[in-house]
């Protein structure tokens, strides 16, 4: 009897691969891998200044409660990080809009979330603050699956979820107490609506009412999470405009008033935030993005390399921020080799997807990503604000890049002929690229990539060498938002609080150090006068540590002598150590 072509093990395996339970199980595996990576070592990294700001406002506290111009104990300095039972959501919104440049939705959510966790040693828990974005980062994995399914197929969906699970960039954002993972979820949701709208346009059907209402809600919520979500919306508008133009050229006239209603409602919702945007335009909080009036050659070309580096870290990042130079060199060379090898492969896969009849979803998503990148360069070069410097801002199109990578790898996966250059099949290529992504994720988890700009864990061991009671002093420039710069100082204090133990204190620390945050306006010497006045009232002996102090004061009149000939640097901290001996040591 002749064997039927659909019988046997091949048919059984093919049936299993296409079954819904198999895809659910595989998705659960990606979710488990992604969750393990995002929650691994979650509290190991010290909190840095942006996380400090997030926690202050999420607790409903004011950054203006940071004590200035006086010596305070560790607990008094950390008062803004202590839970306040009297603060509610109204306090969160009030202080945030008055003192920071972010919208309030995430901070309101974090306010309720942190109520579920008890404080640690009297201050907010770092684990509580970071667990919310980590959880939202895990939810981005099934969300990427849904977007990939809408764009192309379940194979694209699985590969998009697999890439999202191990993306070093995604894990970096998920392990910070910030609002970017919530924004990523909303970007994915908005892109799902974009793909559905593109399908409606292509099929000459009106946009379903439920899609329009949901899209409008998502878009306005996204702006209320991060103002840069507006770039996502602008890129979506460009993608839809391109699709509309193509339809008109094909004489496929459509009635799109529902689509225009969504656009008008989104625009109106965005305009409500215009006063908040204007209040922080040109503020000190955005000054680090300014390219200046007279730009050097490097300032003109840096955005190009910064954007390309952002793309790379979405898929790969090996240990390039370790102190071992050999490891850094080996990692950089490996990444270069992989980049040279993988770029034509990914390009070939994407080209294959765009040549297929079912290319609408991929085409729409590709137009969105290109539009977002064009907007990044337009804002950077026209406004003079180099938003490519902040890799975290790539969240506005990060999910689109992940799903496009999934679509490209899906085409590679289906290739039957092995790569002639390396004699490996398409499936082996996909597995190898995913493995590289997994090891890249471990790089971020172990703090060997995406290291913070301020790293208090490198400064504190130096201060612990003190042999007398410690006073740590810093300065803050008094502006409309004077305590913003003080958040990096609180990061140092918070890290000390997390690890200081009175039962077994660090060498030379019989008590927690004291702190002085001196402010100045136009003349930094005013901060020096505040320091001198404080030293007159401090008991001796004393070890004084100036950290990012505006001046290098001469303190011999206060009987304080520099132990370091000049300011030293570790991470982004400039420090100088003075010893102020007691009366019996003065001679």
Domain with CATH 3.40.50 in the chain: 456-585
pLDDT at res. 509? 63
Spatial CA neighbour of 228 closest among 133, 102, 140: 102
Determine the average pLDDT of the residues in 414-429.
75
For every residue of 172-189, DSSP letters joined together read HHHTSSSSHHHHHHHHHH
Task: Say whether pLDDT at 586 is over 60.
Answer: no
pLDDT winner (highest mean) among 130-134, 242-246, 328-332, 478-482: 130-134
pLDDT at res. 11? 44
Site of tokens 């150090």: 513
For every residue of 257-301, DSSP letters joined together read HHHHHHHHHHHHHHHTTHHHHHHTTT-TTTGGGB--SS--HHHHH
Task: Say whether pLDDT at 323 is over 70.
Answer: yes
Task: Say whether pLDDT at 574 is over 50.
Answer: yes
Q: Three-state SS for 325?
A: helix
DSSP-assigned letter for residue 468: S
Task: Say whether pLDDT at 436 is over 60.
Answer: yes
pLDDT at res. 254? 55
Q: Contact, 76 vs 67, CB < 8 A?
A: yes
Task: For the full predicted model, state whether its pTM sits above 0.85.
Answer: yes
Mean pLDDT of the chain: 86
Q: Which helix (H) or strand (E) holds 341?
A: helix 325-354
Task: Say whether pLDDT at 35 is over 60.
Answer: yes
Query: What Å distances lie between residue 202 and 167, 197, 357, CA to CA?
Result: 32, 9, 13
Determine the average pLDDT of the residues in 73-77.
91
Determine the average pLDDT of the residues in 191-203.
91
Higher pLDDT, 100 or 89: 89
Q: Which helix (H) or strand (E) holds 545?
A: strand 542-547
Report how far residue 224's alpha carbon sits from residue 220's, in angstroms, rounded to the nearest whole number: 6
Could you read off the pLDDT of 503-524 as tens digits, one per residue?
555 555 667 899 999 988 777 7
Spatial CA neighbour of 271 closest among 236, 219, 218, 210: 219
Q: Is 487 exposed, middle or buried (0-12, 13-18, 19+ CB in 10 A)?
A: buried
pLDDT at res. 192? 96
456-585 maps to CATH 3.40.50: yes
Could you read off the pLDDT of 479-501 as tens digits, one per residue?
555 445 577 888 889 988 887 76
Could you read off the pLDDT of 363-375 as tens digits, one per residue?
999 999 999 999 9
Non-local CB neighbours of 409 within 8 Å, separated by 6+ positions: 159, 163, 346, 349, 430, 433
Task: Say whether pLDDT at 541 is over 60.
Answer: yes
């Amino acid at each position: 009897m002749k064997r039927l072509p659909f019988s046997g093990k091949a048919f059984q395996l093919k049936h299993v691969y296409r079954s819904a339970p198999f895809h659910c199980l595989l998705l659960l595996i990606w979710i488990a891998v992604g969750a393990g990576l995002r929650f691994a070592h979650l509290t190991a990294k010290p909190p840095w200044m942006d996380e400090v700001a997030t926690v202050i406002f999420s607790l409903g506290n004011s950054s203006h409660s940071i004590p200035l111009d006086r010596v305070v104990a560790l607990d008094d300095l950390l008062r803004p990080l202590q839970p306040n039972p009297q603060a509610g959501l109204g306090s969160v919104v009030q202080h945030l809009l008055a003192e920071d440049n972010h919208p309030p939705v995430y901070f309101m959510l974090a306010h309720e979330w942190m109520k579920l966790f008890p404080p640690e040693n009297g201050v907010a828990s770092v684990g509580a603050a970071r667990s919310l974005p980590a959880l939202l980062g895990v939810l981005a994995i099934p969300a990427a699956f849904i977007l990939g399914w809408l764009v192309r197929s379940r194979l694209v969906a699985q590969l998009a979820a697999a890439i999202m699970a191990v993306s070093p960039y995604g894990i970096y954002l998920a392990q910070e107490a910030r609002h970017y993972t919530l924004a990523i979820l909303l970007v994915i949701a908005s892109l799902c609506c974009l793909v559905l709208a593109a399908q409606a346009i292509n099929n000459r059907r009106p946009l379903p009412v439920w899609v329009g209402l949901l899209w409008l809600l998502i878009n306005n919520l996204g702006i209320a999470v991060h103002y840069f979500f507006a770039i996502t919306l602008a890129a979506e508008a460009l993608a839809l405009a391109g699709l509309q133009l193509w339809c008109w050229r094909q004489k496929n006239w459509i009635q799109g008033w529902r689509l225009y209603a969504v656009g008008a409602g989104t625009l109106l919702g965005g305009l409500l935030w215009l006063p908040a945007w204007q209040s922080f335009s040109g503020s000190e909080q955005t000054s680090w993005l300014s390219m200046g009036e007279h730009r050097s050659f490097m300032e003109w070309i840096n955005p190009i390399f910064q954007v390309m580096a952002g793309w790379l870290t979405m898929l790969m990042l090996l240990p390039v921020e370790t102190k071992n130079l050999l490891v850094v060199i080996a990692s950089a060379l490996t990444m270069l080799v992989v980049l040279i090898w993988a770029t034509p492969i990914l390009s070939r896969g994407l080209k294959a997807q765009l040549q297929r009849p079912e290319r609408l979803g991929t085409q729409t998503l590709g137009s969105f990503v290109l539009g977002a990148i064009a907007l990044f360069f337009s804002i950077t070069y026209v406004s003079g604000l180099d938003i490519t410097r902040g890799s975290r801002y790539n969240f506005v199109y990060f999910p689109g890049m992940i799903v496009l990578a999934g679509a490209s790898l899906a085409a590679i996966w289906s290739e039957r002929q092995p790569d002639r250059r390396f004699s490996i099949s398409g499936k082996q290529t996909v597995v190898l690229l995913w493995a590289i992504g997994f090891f890249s994720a471990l790089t971020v988890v172990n703090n060997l990539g995406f290291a913070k700009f301020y790293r208090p864990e490198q400064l504190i061991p130096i201060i612990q060498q003190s042999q007398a009671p410690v006073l740590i002093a810093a300065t803050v420039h008094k502006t409309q938002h004077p305590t913003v710069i003080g958040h990096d100082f609180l990061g140092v204090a918070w890290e000390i609080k997390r690890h200081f133990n009175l039962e077994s204190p660090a060498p030379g620390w019989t008590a927690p150090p004291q702190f002085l945050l001196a402010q100045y306006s136009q003349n930094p010497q005013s901060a020096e006068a505040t320091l001198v006045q404080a030293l007159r009232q401090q008991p001796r002996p004393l070890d004084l540590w100036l950290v990012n102090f505006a001046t290098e004061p001469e303190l011999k009149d206060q009987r304080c002598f520099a132990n370091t000939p000049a300011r030293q640097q570790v991470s982004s901290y400039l420090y100088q150590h003075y010893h102020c001996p007691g009366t019996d040591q003065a001679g």
